[in-house]
Amino acid sequence: MTAARLLTDDARRLAQGWLQEWLPGRLAAAISLGLPEWDDRLERWRIALVSAKEPGQPVGEIQIDRDGAIVRAPAPTMVDERLNLVGRNGHPVRNGKKSRISFPPVPNKVILGDCRAVLSEFPASSAQLVFTSPPYFNAKPECAEYVDYPSYLDFLGEAFAACYDALAEGRFLIVNVSPVLVRRTSRSTASKRLPIPFDLHPVLDRIGFEFIDDIIWRKPEGAGLHLGRGRRFAADRQPLQYKPVTVTEYVLVYRKKTGRLIDWNLRNHPDPEALERSRILGEYDKTNVWDITPSNHALHPAVFPDELVSRVLRYYSFEGDSVLDPFAGSGTVGRVAAGMGRRFILVEKRPDYFDVMRRELQQLASAPPVDFDDLQYYWSADHNAESV
């Protein structure tokens, strides 16, 4: 590896030579070289080609072996097409320069209403983290709220677009979600599993969230036995009938798109002391598989385990940050956030869950001041917020 590091300047020189030889002058002038990095697996230098105007936008890559041979490079036509796309995704790209960060002083709030309407009234950067689990599609067919699966995805798109507007630049959206089983209606029909985590990605990408990580929440063996999945195979052992018992859910990590590095949020944080207090000391999760036992709540069928919330808040927020849950349910995010020195904005459209949150937050040993807004917001057909 030491010898490979000595070749950094040579690798850059060879890449620059390729630019001058193989790309037309106008293309070569529009491209800068990224930082050369040695790939131990490939045993090659990898040098990104980036837009000179927007350095965060890669348009290709050159790979150079240890003997100085260029073994991989993009076609000039591909570089040209990618350069033409830079800056057309509808999301502003910042130049990375320092600027002061400030957040609106939003107090702890619990709001009864539709998050699409409620969040439209919040100023930008009201939240520094969004963590939620969206309502399940047709979890109870007798009280389904969505006409069909595409309309459910449209609903999620509107909700997360409202979260995007309320979220501070470069901060994180964490979504706990899993495929949903739609049971069969008769012996002659088949059950279905809807791939919500995978269908949600293009929805979030169009809004302007950048995918960062997929964390697997693994439950103890037997946690999914109540679904009855796999019983037929267990009895008959016939191929094609195999269906594993599901004991995992996804914790998907996205970041609000920006041209600024994560370091920008650290260097310019408005409270350096809170930044220091939030350092992650001691043990931490080194892989993307988290073993956490599910929790139960007498008045809610699917609550976050406190441990899941505390890990997410520990890794993706600072003390004093405001954490938004647009589908707050029984309010676990708010309760855990309060105990970790974070503020919270909880939005829930079911009055019974709103009452649960009011009662349980007020019963905390050290209950924080909370604004409870029980005005009921509705989402009208023309997508205008109405309150009564």
Q: What is the pLDDT of residue 54?
A: 76
DSSP letter assigned to residue 340:
T
pLDDT of 92: 43
Structure tokens at 298: 């007498």
Residue 49 CB partners (closer than 8 Å, separation 6+): 19, 31, 32, 33, 34, 58, 59, 60, 61, 62, 74, 79
Lowest mean pLDDT among 58-62, 164-168, 213-217, 372-376: 372-376
Residue 275: in which H helix or E strand, if any?
Answer: helix 272-277
Quick check: 278 pLDDT over 90? Answer: yes
- 313 and 307 in contact (C-beta within 8 Å)? no
DSSP output for 111-168: EES-HHHHGGGSPTT-EEEEEE-PPPTTSSGGG---SSHHHHHHHHHHHHHHHHHHEE
Rounded-to-integer distance, Cα 95 and Cα 99, Å: 11
pLDDT band at 382 (very low <50, low <70, confident <90, very high): very low
Of 374, 346, 359, 388, the residue nearest 115 (C-alpha): 346
Range 268-287 average pLDDT: 93
Residue, of 301 and 255, whose pLDDT is higher: 255
**pLDDT above 70 as % of the chain:** 82
Q: Residues 97-129: pLDDT tens digits?
A: 445 688 888 899 999 999 999 998 888 889 999
pLDDT, one tens digit per residue, over 283-329 is 999 999 999 998 776 555 567 899 999 999 999 999 999 999 999 99
Per-residue model confidence (pLDDT) at position 115: 93
Q: Which residues of 12-36 are buried (b: 16+ CB within 10 A; e: fewer)?
A: bebbeebbeebbeeebbebbebbeb
Cα–Cα distance measured from residue 387 to residue 385, given in angstroms and rounded to the nearest whole number:
7
- DSSP state, residue 334: H
Residue 134 scores a pLDDT above 90: yes
Closest C-alpha to 253, from 312, 335, 180 = 312
- Residue 180 scores a pLDDT above 80: yes
Mean pLDDT of 128-154: 79
C-alpha 288: how far from chain center: 14
Position 386 scores a pLDDT of 36
Q: Give the burial class of 368: count Cβ atoms within 10 A of its Cβ; 0-12 exposed, 13-18 middle, 19 or more buried.
A: middle
Question: Looking at per-residue confidence, does 100 or 30 come out higher?
Answer: 30
Give the integer Cα–Cα distance in Å for 172 and 252: 10
Tokens 């919040």 -> residue: 122
Under 8 Å between Cβ of 238 and 153: no
Which pLDDT does position 105 carry in this prediction?
A: 83
pLDDT score of 211 more than 90:
yes
What confidence category does residue 158 fall into, taking pLDDT thresholds of 50, 70 and 90? very high
Q: Using pLDDT thresholds of 50, 70 and 90, give the confidence band for residue 165.
A: very high
The pLDDT, as a whole number, for residue 91 is 45
Torsion angle, alpha carbons of 225, 226, 232, 233, to 10:
-10
For 280-300, give the DSSP string: --S----SSEEE-----BTTB
Beta bridge partners, 300, equal 297
pTM, rounded to two decimals = 0.77
Average pLDDT, whole number, for the chain?
A: 83
Lowest mean pLDDT segment, chosen from 27-31, 141-145, 195-199, 205-209: 141-145
Domains of the chain: 2-85 (no CATH), 109-387 (3.40.50.150)
Residue 224: pLDDT band (50, 70, 90) is: low
Q: Which residue has the higher pLDDT, 236 or 340?
A: 340
Q: Which of 208-217, 260-269, 358-367 has the lowest mean pLDDT?
A: 358-367
Reply yes or no on whether the pLDDT at 367 is more than 90: no
Per-residue pLDDT, 177: 95
Residues 381, 374: Cα–Cα separation, whole Å = 22
